Structure 1
Amino acid sequence: MSARGSVASLARRCLATTARPVVRGDFSEITAGDLETFTSILGDPKHVVTDADDLLPFNRDWMNKYEGKSRLALRPKTTEEVSRIMRHCSERNLAVVPQGGNTGLVGGSVPVFDEVVVSMARMDEIRSIDPLAGVMVCQAGCILQHLDETLAREGLMMPLDLGAKGSCHIGGNISTNAGGIRYLRYGSLHGSVLGLEVVLASGEILDVLKPLRKDTTGYDLKQLFIGAEGTLGLVTAAAIHCPPRPKAKNATFLSCDSFPRVLETFRRAKADLGEILSAFEFLDKESLDLATRTFADVKNPLEGSSDGFYVLIETSGSDEAHDAEKLQSFLESSLEAGAITNGAVAQDVTQFRAFWRVREGVPEALNTHGAMYKYDLSVPQAQMYDLVEETRDRVGGMAYTVGYGHLGDGNLHLNCVADAYSDELSSRIEPFVYERTAELGGSVSAEHGLGQMKASCIGYTKSDSAVEMMKLVKRTFDPKGILNPYKVLPSSN
C-alpha cells in the first residue's frame, strides 16, 4: 500500500461519506439555561436567533446543497463576546460552527446536525489602515468588496479577488485560504496575512495580531488557522498586507486551437509580460458557449471564433504606455508563433469589464442547472485538461461538462451539470475524479476547502502520517472536538 493508502480503500471512504451521513457526536443539546447565558453575553435577545424561519439562512448554503438542523445562531459583536460564548460552549460540551458570509462550496460553514452557529456578520469593523506599510487590521466579518473599496481610497488593494466578493467575509476567506484570480500575482493568504486574533475552543483569546512583515520569534502560529476552516479556532480579526493599487490595468481576450497552445501562450506570457502579468484564466469552448447562451450580457469578444479554448489575461502596472508596449509585443510574437489564433485588447473600462464578465458568467451559468457536480482541483498544468476530457467521455450525454480555471496556479474548475442528480451519474463521476487527481499528483481541493463534502477524501492528497499529524493538532487545540465537527478531517463516527 502507498503512503496515501490504496485508491480502492480511499474510494470506499469517500463513497461511504456520500451514501451514509456521519453519526452525531456525543455533544450536549441546547437548554433554556444556555439561551439565558447567551442572551446575557450578547446583551440583546435579537442576537440570539431561535426562530425556525430566521434560522434558515444559517442552516443552508447558497446552493441549497447542504442543510443543517441548528436551533440556535449567535451574532456577537466583539472578540470578548466570542470568547465568552466559546467558554460556555466548552464547559457545556456544545458543538459550534463558525459562519461568515456562508458563500462556501463544500458545506464547511453549514451545520451538519444541531451545532450552535456563531455568525461573524456583526464583527465588521476596520480597526486601522497604515498606507505607508500597506497594512490593514480588520475584524473577521468585514465583506471583501467593502475592504477593497475602502483600501482604494488609500491607493491600496486587497491581495485577493473572488466572485463572491460582495458577500464573503475576510474571516471566511482566511479560514478557507481562499485563492481567486489575484493568486498568480500576490500568492496565497499564507503570505498576505501578517497576524491573527483567534478565539480557541476553550474561550482563550490567542493574540498573534502584530502587523509586522518580518518576525522570526518562535513558531508562526497564525499559519495553523489559515485554511483550517474553523476547526482549530474562530478567527476574529486579521492584519493583512495590502499591495499598492495598480495605476494601469488592461485585459486581452485570446483564442487558441488546442490546450497545448494555451500552455504555450502561458509560457510566453510569463516570459514577455513578467512583472505586469496579474491574471491568466482559461476556459474551454463549452464554458464560453454555456455563458453566452445563458446571459444576454455575456458576449464573445472574438465573435465568430470557433476555437476550442480561450484565454483571459490581465496586466497591471504603474505605466500605461510601458505596459501597452509589452502587451503588444507579446501578442504579436504569440500570433506569429501560432500560439494564439486571434485576440482582442480592451480599449476602455467598459471592454475591460466585458472581458471579465465572460469569465464570471461561466460559474453563474452553471448555477442555473438543477444538478451541479463542482470540483476544485490542483492538477499539474500539462495534464490539466486531460481530466476534463476523460470526465466528459465518462458521463457522455448524461451531463454537460466544462473546464475552466486559474491556469497560472494550476487550479482547474471541473464541472458537470444536468437537470437532476442521479445515482448513475454520480457513480460515473465519483470517485473517478478524485482517483485521477491523485494519480496525477494533484490535490482534491485547490481553494474551496474540504468542508463536509471532502472530509473523507483528504487521503487522496495527504499521506496517512500527515492526516494523523493533523488529527493530533486538532486534539491539541480542540480536545473535546466541539469546533466545526464533521469537517476537514475524516470522522471517527
Structure 2
Amino acid sequence: MFKVIKLYSIPARHTPSLVKYRSASQIPQLSSEKYKVKRKDFSTVQANDVNYFKSVLGEDRVLTEEDDVLSFNIDWIRNCRGQSKVVLKPKSTEEVSQILSYCNERRLAVCPQGGNTGVVGGSVPVFDEIILNLGLLNKVISLDDISGALVCETGCVLEKLDNYVRQHGLIMPLDLGAKGSCHIGGNVSTNAGGLRLLRYGNLHGSVLGIEAVKADGTVIDCLKTLKKDNTGYHLKHLFIGSEGTLGVVTKVAIHCPAMPKAVTLGYFGVENFEKVLQLYKSAKSSLGEILSAFEMADFDSISSTARILNLPNPISDFPFYVILETHGSDEDHDKEKLHRFLTNEMKSGLILDGTITSEPSKMQAVWNIRENIAPAGIVGTYLFTFDVSLPMKNYYEIIPKLRQRLGNKVNLVFGFGHIGDGNLHINVVMPEYTREVAELLEPYVFEEVSALQGSISAEHGVGFRKPHYIHYSKDRSALGLMRQIKTLMDPNGILNPYKVLPDE
C-alpha cells in the first residue's frame, strides 16, 4: 500500500500566484500585442463551461474573478501576459482527465501551469487559454529508500521533495535556483538541468516513469520505477521536455541518489575565461569522482547581485568567479583533495584567490549569490535572459560581442552558467523594454549560437518566446516529425498552443 504524504507548497516571493500588481506600470503588455500574435480558432469559455468545471472541482477551485486570475496570467520575470479568464485547480489525475476530455470536445485551449518559474513564457497563456494550475497535486506517493525510487504528484515543490528524501538518506538529482517554488512536473516538462547535472545527469536519465493525461483525457500510465524496462518505445521521453504540448504530466517516478556524507564548496576568483576552462579541466582530473558542480559567473553577474540584494561576497572583486562543489563520503579526504587543488592552482596562477568551506551556512551564502543572479536582474528593471548551450571553447565569446553591439542602450550585459554542461545564461538588464533592443538581440543571439553548432535552449525550453527561432537548432525533417507527433497526441491542438512548435 502506498503511503501518501501531502506537501503543502508555499511559493517563493517572485512567484506570480502571490504577486499583487498595484499599478498599471507593474503589469506587462499583453503578449499577443507585444509579439503580434494572431489568435487561433479555438472556442471561447462560456458560462456553461464554467458551471461544468465547478461541478467537477467545486466552487473554490475555479477562479474567475479578474483580480484572482491576473497573477496567473503573468510570468515571474514580467515579460509575458495572457488573457485567461479562468484558472482551474485540480487535485487528482481523474479531475485533470475530466477537464481535458471536456476541453477537447469543446475545442477550448488549455495552458498547463506549475510553479510558473520559467523564463520563456511557456507556463502562461497567450490569449484566453484556460489555465490548468497543478499546484494542488502535491502528494508524495511512495519512496523506496533502497532503490532510491520516489513517486510523487506533479505539483510537489522541488525543495520540499529534496527535504523529504533527505530524511531517508537521499537527495533529488536536480537543484535549481527556483527550487523553493518550481514544481517537479514543470521540471520534467521542461527537462530542467540546474546545478547538479554535471554529477547526476539530466532528467532523461533520472526519470524512471511518468503518468500523463493526453488532450482527449486518456491517462497514459508509464509510472514504473524500474531502472531497466526495455519493452518497446520509451514513451516517458515524449513528455520530458515537451512543455505540456503533448500531455499534462500528473505523476513522476524519479531516481534519487544517495545523500553525500560530505559536501565541500570552493569559491575562487579567476583572471580570465581561458583560465576558467583550464581550471575546469584541472578539476575534472584532480577531483573527478567527487566533483558535483562547476559554475562560472562573470564580475557583473556577482557584483550586481550582491549590490542589489545586499548579499556579502566572501572574496574580493575579480573578472570571473568559479563555484566548485564536491559530493563524497569522507569529509577529511574530500577537503584535503580540495585544499590541495586550491594550493596547486594558486601556485599555477589559475586561481587568484579563493575560499573552501564545508560549513552549511557559509556554503549557502555563496550559493545565495549564484542562485539570485536572475531574480536580482528584475529588481526595478527589465530583463532579457537567454539560455543557450555552446561548445566550451566558445562559451563566453558572445558576451563581449553583445556589450559592443548594445552599448549604452542597456545597463548591463553579463554571463553565468554551468561550465560542466556548456550551458550559458545571458542576461541583458535595461530600464524598460524597448523594441529597438529586442531587435538587436533577436535573432542575433540565436544566429551566433547556431553558427557555433550550439543550441538556442539548454534547460529552460522553447516556450512561447522561441518557437520561431527553433529552426536554428532543429532542421526541417526533425520539425516535421515533431509536428506529426503533436498531431497524433493532440489533434485539436488544445494543449499549450503557441508554444514550442512554430506555425508552418
TM-score (norm. length: structure 2): 0.92
Query: Post-superposition shift, 1:325?
Result: 1.6
1:366-406 deviation per Cα after TM superposition (whole angstroms, max 9, x unaligned): 12142211111101111111111111111112221111111
Gaps of 5+ in 2: 1-30
**Corresponding position: 1:112 with 2:123:** no
Question: Which of 196, 206, 216 is the equivalent residue of 1:202?
Answer: 216
1:50-108 deviation per Cα after TM superposition (whole angstroms, max 9, x unaligned): 11111112211112211111111111111111111111111111111111111111110
Query: Post-superposition shift, 1:347?
Result: 5.2
SS class of match (1:310): strand
SS class of match (2:395): helix
Query: Post-superposition shift, 1:361?
Result: 3.2
Question: Which of 403, 421, 439 is the equivalent residue of 1:427?
Answer: 439
SS class of match (1:385): coil
2-structure distance, mates of 1:389, 1:462: 27
Aligned 8 A contact 1:269 1:277 in 2: yes
**Corresponding position: 1:292 with 2:293:** no
1:4-46 deviation per Cα after TM superposition (whole angstroms, max 9, x unaligned): xxxxxxxxxxxx999642211111111222122212222x111
1-structure distance, mates of 2:347, 2:33: 50
Aligned length: 473
**Corresponding position: 1:65 with 2:40:** no
Question: Which residue in the other structure is 1:8 paired with?
Answer: none
Question: Which residue in the other structure is 1:359 paired with?
Answer: 370
**Corresponding position: 1:488 with 2:503:** no
SS class of match (1:390): helix
Question: Which residue in the other structure is 1:417 paired with?
Answer: 429
SS class of match (2:292): strand
1:89-488 to 2 correspondences below 5 Å: 89-296=103-310, 298-303=311-316, 305=317, 307-346=318-357, 348-399=359-410, 400-488=412-500
Aligned 8 A contact 2:263 2:358 in 1: no
Aligned 8 A contact 1:194 1:212 in 2: yes
2-structure distance, mates of 1:133, 1:352: 29
Question: Which residue in the other structure is 1:35 paired with?
Answer: 50
Query: Post-superposition shift, 1:455?
Result: 1.2
Read off the aligned partner of 1:373 and give its amino acid letter. Answer: F
Query: Post-superposition shift, 1:161?
Result: 0.9
Query: Post-superposition shift, 1:322?
Result: 1.1
Q: Which runs of 4+ in 1 moved over 4 A?
A: 16-20
1:58–1:214 distance in 2 versus 1, CA, 3 Å:
same
Read off the aligned partner of 1:327 and give its amino acid letter. Answer: L
Read off the aligned partner of 2:365 and give its amino acid letter. Answer: A
1-structure distance, mates of 2:34, 2:248: 30
1:445–1:18 distance in 2 versus 1, CA, 3 Å:
farther
Query: Post-superposition shift, 1:117?
Result: 1.1
Query: Post-superposition shift, 1:126?
Result: 0.5
Aligned 8 A contact 2:269 2:321 in 1: yes
Read off the aligned partner of 1:300 and give its amino acid letter. Answer: N
Query: Post-superposition shift, 1:110?
Result: 0.4
Greater RCO, CA 8 A, separation 6+: 1
What is the root-mean-square deviation in Å for CA atoms of aligned residues? 1.5
Question: Which residue in the other structure is 2:40 paired with?
Answer: 25
Question: Which of 84, 90, 115 is the equivalent residue of 2:98?
Answer: 84
Aligned 8 A contact 1:127 1:139 in 2: yes
Query: Post-superposition shift, 1:349?
Result: 2.1
SS class of match (2:397): helix
1:19–1:61 distance in 2 versus 1, CA, 3 Å:
closer
State, as a whole percentage, how many aligned pairs show the same letter.
Answer: 48
1:262-306 deviation per Cα after TM superposition (whole angstroms, max 9, x unaligned): 00000000111011111101111111221222122x222223x4x
Read off the aligned partner of 1:393 and give its amino acid letter. Answer: Q
TM-score (norm. length: structure 1): 0.94
Aligned 8 A contact 1:369 1:418 in 2: no
1:429-485 deviation per Cα after TM superposition (whole angstroms, max 9, x unaligned): 222111100001111111111111111110011111111111111001001101000
Gaps of 5+ in 1: 1-15
Question: Which residue in the other structure is 2:67 paired with?
Answer: 53
Read off the aligned partner of 1:469 and give its amino acid letter. Answer: L
Query: Post-superposition shift, 1:348?
Result: 2.0
2-structure distance, mates of 1:64, 1:19: 12
1-structure distance, mates of 2:336, 2:43: 65
2-structure distance, mates of 1:471, 1:293: 46
Aligned 8 A contact 2:32 2:38 in 1: no
SS class of match (2:396): helix
Query: Post-superposition shift, 1:333?
Result: 2.1
2-structure distance, mates of 1:115, 1:46: 20
Read off the aligned partner of 1:375 and give its amino acid letter. Answer: F
